[in-house]
Amino acid sequence: MVRINLNLDAVRALRNLGNTNQAFGESVQRISSGLRINKAADDPAGLSVSERLRSQIRGLNQAVRNGQDALSLLQTGEGAMQEISTILQRMRELAVQGANDTLNSTDRAALESELDQLKSEVDRIANVTEFNDRKLLQGSNTFNFQIGATTDTTYGVLQLTPVSVTTAVIGSGTLSGATSLSASVGGVCTIDAAARTTFLTLISSLDDAIDDVSTQRASFGARSNRLGNTINSLQLSAENAAASESRIRDADIAQETSNFVSQQILQQAAISILAQANQVPSLVLQLLR
């Protein structure tokens, strides 16, 4: 039956063309953006999960950078203590030399002069070693390294109480805690240049000082190793979270390309059918002739 006031076939063809155009536009948007979810309406639940994963990924990546910065700080402190250890070894060498009675008072005075300079260098290194304007070897700062992506303070934070390694606080061997050097060296270089026994006492003090610094270097090294493992773990977690987020939010380009071609064919067919449906009412004119 042919009607003039309503061309139902054309209306249906136009509706189908509109649906096809919408689907075609969505395929174009997904292919051009690379995303399956471009707006909340595309997948409300998927968008919510994706946003939480994105937040987690950004937090993990920042935690990695935090860990790398902390590792740099530890390496800076350990490097300074390595140099201090080298100086202490030289001081001990001089003390052993000074304990030999083949030396006279003039010889021992010369040794004391070098010992004084080495002592001053130990103190200088301890006082100037810093990372980002924060002193590392004065015992004046406590560092909390945020190595987690959440507020968890049990596993997400690594604390370091920096050591003081000036000659005023190393040498007795009574190490207090894992990260603090305590005990007086007891006048490392205020010695009687003529006394052999003074050099013997100095050897003992330097042995304790070397042990103290070595203990702290080991502590720094252990933390550095832990941070290295932590960084690797954080990177793996970020990688897995990124893969999960990608599966939810990113478009399957192969599938979307197939949909694009399919919608393109349907679009062309709908346009052709709509054109033909619009010609049907004109057939009525032939009946009136």
Question: Which pLDDT tens digit goes with each residue over 34-78?
Answer: 888 888 888 899 999 999 999 999 999 999 999 999 999 999 999
- Give DSSP secondary structure letters for 10-25: HHHHHHHHHHHHHHHH
For position 153, what pLDDT does the model report? 62
Strand-strand pairing, 157-160 and 143-146 = antiparallel
Residue 289: band (very low, low, confident or very high) from pLDDT cuts 50, 70, 90? low
- Rounded Cα gap, residues 196 and 207, in angstroms: 17
Q: What pLDDT digit, counting tens, does each position of 172-201 carry?
A: 444 333 322 223 233 434 445 557 888 888
Identify which of 249, 244, 250 has the alpha carbon closest to the alpha carbon of residue 45.
249
**Which helix (H) or strand (E) is 160 found in, with range?**
strand 157-160
Would you say the C-alpha torsion 108, 109, 114, 116 has a positive or negative sign?
positive
For position 41, what pLDDT does the model report? 85
Compare 84 and 283 and report the one with higher pLDDT: 84
For position 202, what pLDDT does the model report? 85
CA distances from 227 to 111, 147, 159, 201, 277 (A): 42, 8, 12, 39, 72
- Four-way CATH pick for 46-248: 1.10.3720.10, 1.20.1330.10, 3.40.640.10, 1.10.1060.10: 1.20.1330.10
Average pLDDT of the chain, as a whole number? 80
- Cα angle: 233, vertex 237, 240; to 5 degrees: 140
Identify which of 183, 87, 176, 73 has the alpha carbon closest to the alpha carbon of residue 129.
73
Count of CB atoms situated within 10 Å of the CB of 4: 8
| All structural domains of the chain with their residue ranges | 8-31+251-288, 46-248
